[in-house]
């Protein structure tokens, strides 16, 4: 209510001071008509503001998340673009359906604790919420041994090399949203058949975290694009084998590894559900499967949880 009163008061001051009007001055009919039109405009602006305040809704998929989760923020009732920050980092809201959507990845290595979420509206008002990030208990196991990688040190050497390539790719931010619907799974049947998301691999001298999920897939099982996008990478990539990466826009990437063969190549525009390749065991793999990962603005998130939460919330 104080904002409304302040708005009226500001309108009044604008009429008096910006237009050089005083109560003692006698206005002509033309001047009175002009001031009436200005007042009408201000009233319409106020009515629009009141309408947005009444219809404004802010929905958080959750206020308590684990490492690797996705924070989904939906805002309805604001016709103009909004902005926001989470943990002092900017949120780029995208227009979706009848509101705005913010997709925030909680990295698998994010330090547990409480973090502030801010949403800023064009009228100057703000929304603040404290989000609690809790520790996720990731499984631990020994480094797997393969013919190509008989020692953990050899695997770590190649992983370090490929990391530079991947970091460069995932640093790209395409200011275009290619998708307009929820994400789907990359296989017809989803079953974890190897390492789960966040699993920690240890040896005597090395520790590394598995930032994807290994899905059961016999050789040459069709792999589907999880949503619309552009193929940004389709090459053999060391430990990851034949690797395909799709840019979905707004810093969101899907990442498919150990393929036996590609069906699409770099630069190809793909649609949700298109076959993009076939599963295999190329690279650092003990058997045929699909290693599937997702990145949201460089953060490593659980891809199955990401798809699940967007499928659940975006269709509401």
CA distance 44 to 143: 66
Q: Please state whether beta strands 207-209 and 140-142 pair in parallel, antiparallel, or not at all (unpaired).
A: unpaired
Domain range spanning residue 7? 2-55
CA distance 84 to 127: 9
The tens digit of pLDDT for each residue in 289-301 reads 999 999 999 999 9
Within 13 Å and on the Cβ side, how many CA atoms surround 78?
A: 23
Looking at 134, 167, 190, the residue that finishes a domain is 134
The tens digit of pLDDT for each residue in 31-76 reads 767 777 777 776 666 655 555 555 688 888 888 899 999 999 999 8
Indicate whether 50 and 126 sit together in one domain.
Answer: no
> What's residue 34's pLDDT?
75
Q: What length does the chain have? A: 316
> What's residue 185's pLDDT?
97
Indicate whether 111 and 130 sit together in one domain.
Answer: yes
> What's residue 179's pLDDT?
93
Taking every pair of Cα atoms in the chain, the longest distance, rounded to a whole number of angstroms, is: 96
The tens digit of pLDDT for each residue in 218-275 reads 999 999 999 999 999 999 998 899 999 999 999 999 999 999 999 999 999 999 999 9
Whether 1 has a pLDDT exceeding 80, the answer reads no
Q: What does DSSP assign to residue 144?
A: P
Output the average pLDDT for the chain: 86
Indicate whether 155 and 263 sit together in one domain.
Answer: yes
> What's residue 18's pLDDT?
47
CA distance 23 to 192: 77
Indicate whether 67 and 157 sit together in one domain.
Answer: no
Handedness of CA 170, 305, 111, 291 (dihedral sign): negative
3-state secondary structure of 30: helix
> What's residue 316's pLDDT?
54
Lowest mean pLDDT among 27-36, 83-92, 133-142, 293-302: 27-36
Indicate whether 220 and 297 sit together in one domain.
Answer: yes
Give percent above pLDDT 70 in the chain.
85
Looking at 101, 119, 134, the residue that finishes a domain is 134
Give percent above pLDDT 90 in the chain.
57
3-state secondary structure of 303: helix
Bridge partners of 188, per DSSP, are none
Whether 96 has a pLDDT exceeding 70, the answer reads yes
Query: What domain count does the chain have?
Result: 3
Non-local CB neighbours of 257 within 8 Å, separated by 6+ positions = 212, 237, 240, 241, 242, 243, 283, 290, 291, 292, 293
Indicate whether 156 and 305 sit together in one domain.
Answer: yes
To which residue do tokens 């949120």 refer? 91
To which residue do tokens 């904002």 refer? 3
Indicate whether 243 and 215 sit together in one domain.
Answer: yes
Give mean pLDDT, residues 134-153.
Answer: 83
CA distance 274 to 36: 59
> What's residue 157's pLDDT?
82
pTM: 0.81
> What's residue 315's pLDDT?
57
* 208 vs 205: which has the higher pLDDT: 208
> What's residue 290's pLDDT?
97
Indicate whether 230 and 296 sit together in one domain.
Answer: yes
CA 133 to chain centre: 17
């Amino acid at each position: 209510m104080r904002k409304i009163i302040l708005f009226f008061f500001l309108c009044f001051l604008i009429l008096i001071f910006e237009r050089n009007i005083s109560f003692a001055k006698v206005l002509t009919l033309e001047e009175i008509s002009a001031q009436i039109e200005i007042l009408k405009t201000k009233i319409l602006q106020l009515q629009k503001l009141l309408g947005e305040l009444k219809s404004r809704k802010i929905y958080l998929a959750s206020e308590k998340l684990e490492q690797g989760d996705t924070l989904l923020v939906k805002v309805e009732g604001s016709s103009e673009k909004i902005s926001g920050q989470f943990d002092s980092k900017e949120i780029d809201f995208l227009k979706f359906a009848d509101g705005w959507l913010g997709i925030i990845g909680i990295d698998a290595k994010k330090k547990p604790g409480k973090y502030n979420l801010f949403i800023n509206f064009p009228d100057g008002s703000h929304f603040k919420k404290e989000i609690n990030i809790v520790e996720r208990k990731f499984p631990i196991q020994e480094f797997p041994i393969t013919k190509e990688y008989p020692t953990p040190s050899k695997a770590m050497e190649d992983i370090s090399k490929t990391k530079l390539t991947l970091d460069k790719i995932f640093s790209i931010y395409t200011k275009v949203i290619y998708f307009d619907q929820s994400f789907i799974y990359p296989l017809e049947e989803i079953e974890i058949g190897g390492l789960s998301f966040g699993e920690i691999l240890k040896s005597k001298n090395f520790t590394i975290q598995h930032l994807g999920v290994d899905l059961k897939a016999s050789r040459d099982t069709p792999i589907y694009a999880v949503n619309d996008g552009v193929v940004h990478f389709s090459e053999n990539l060391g430990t990851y084998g034949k690797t395909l990466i799709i840019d979905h826009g707004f810093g969101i990437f899907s990442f498919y590894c150990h393929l036996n063969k590609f069906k699409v190549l770099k630069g190809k525009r793909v649609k949700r559900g298109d076959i993009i390749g076939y599963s295999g065991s190329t690279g650092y793999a003990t058997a045929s499967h699909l290693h599937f990962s997702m990145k949201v603005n460089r953060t490593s998130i659980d891809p199955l949880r990401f798809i699940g939460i967007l499928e659940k919330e975006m269709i509401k």
